[in-house]
Amino acid sequence: MLVVSEVSAGYEDFRALFDVSLSVREGETVAIVGANGAGKSTLLRAVMGQVRLHAGSVHFCGVDISEMKTYDRVKLGISLVPEGRKIFPSLTVRENLFIGSFGKRPGPWSIERVVSIFPMLDRLLNRSAAKLSGGEQQAIAIGRALLSNPRLVLLDEVSLGLAPVVVKQLYNALPAISNQGTTAIVVEQDIHQALAVSDRVYCLLEGKVSLSGEASRVSTSEITTAYFGAAV
């Protein structure tokens, strides 16, 4: 479904990714783990077209999307839950969710279905999204991305800055997302959290893929070495 081939990308003079290749099959949940600054978020932004590729290509469902605008990639069926949630502060919770369906892609997701996996949003729909807690805002960000009815959803560090109990609530919703046939890429710093929900894993180290394999077959020592660059 998604094929990233030898991608180098970054910001102005700074290069964050070097010859990164990865592939994601339909229906899979793939984890991308790595330390802070390893290039995980840049990789997702490159897939979404928010950073320019210096080299390489990105194909989605057989279409070369390397030069495609971000909003056209969304219309093709890719959606990103951005790092830091990026909720629209002047919109209510319901409007924040509704704006996800702007492209009117047909599919299974509706506000009711999002509320069914995040019941905490039910009583908040008419509230201003700016005044909610981090966990509630993250639920909105995930719901908003699902309402575009994506074939592939990219989740960028959904646990960042949240209490463990809230993170557990959010991660409990992931099976419901894959049950709808939505493919997912989960970017995390927390290795255990990511491995628990994914079929395959890629580890990034200093902008390069340091390990890839099936989540259930990767040993702790392998991934620790790939994560930190040396055995700990």
Partner 1 sequence: MSWINALVQGVLLGGLYAIFATGLSLAFGVMRFVNLAHGDLAILAAYLVLSTASTMGVSHVVSLPLVVLLMAGLGYVGQRFVFNRTIGPDPLAGILCSFGIGVVVQNLLLARYTATDRYLDAGSIETSTIRINDSVSIGHFSLLTFVCAILLLGSLQIFLSRTSLGRAFRATADDPATAQLMGINDKRIYGFAMAIAFGTVGIAGFFLGARETFAPAAGPNQLLFGFEAVVIGGLGSLWGTLIGGIVLGVAQVFGNQLSVGWNLLAGHIVFLMVLAFRPNGLLGTGVRT
Asked if residues 218 and 226 have their Cβ atoms less than 8 Å apart, the reply is: no
Q: Closest CB to partner 1 among 90 and 219?
A: 90
- Residue 48 touches partner 1, criterion: CB under 8 A: yes
Min dist CB 201 to partner 1, Å, is 25
- Residue 126 touches partner 1, criterion: CB under 8 A: no
- Residue 103 touches partner 1, criterion: CB under 8 A: yes
Which two tokens mark 15?
């290069």
**Segment contacting partner 1 by CB under 8 A, of 25-33, 74-82, 195-203, 220-228:** 74-82
Closest CA to 125 of 105, 106, 98, 148: 98
> What is the DSSP code string of 91-135?
SBHHHHHHGGGTT---SS--HHHHHHH-GGGGGGTTSBGGGS-HH
Q: Closest CB to partner 1 among 187 and 191?
A: 187
Q: Closest CB to partner 1 among 125 and 215?
A: 125
Min dist CB 155 to partner 1, Å, is 13
- Token pair 């905490």 is found at 120
77, 107, 118, 102: CA torsion to nearest 10: 60
CA–CA separation, 98 and 111 (whole Å): 7
- Residue 50 touches partner 1, criterion: CB under 8 A: yes
Min dist CB 232 to partner 1, Å, is 36
Q: Closest CB to partner 1 among 103 and 213?
A: 103
- Residue 82 touches partner 1, criterion: CB under 8 A: yes
End-to-end C-alpha distance for the chain, whole angstroms = 35
Question: Given the rule CB under 8 A, which residues bind partner 1?
Answer: 48, 50, 69-71, 74-75, 79-80, 82, 86, 88-91, 95, 98-100, 102-103, 105, 144-145, 148
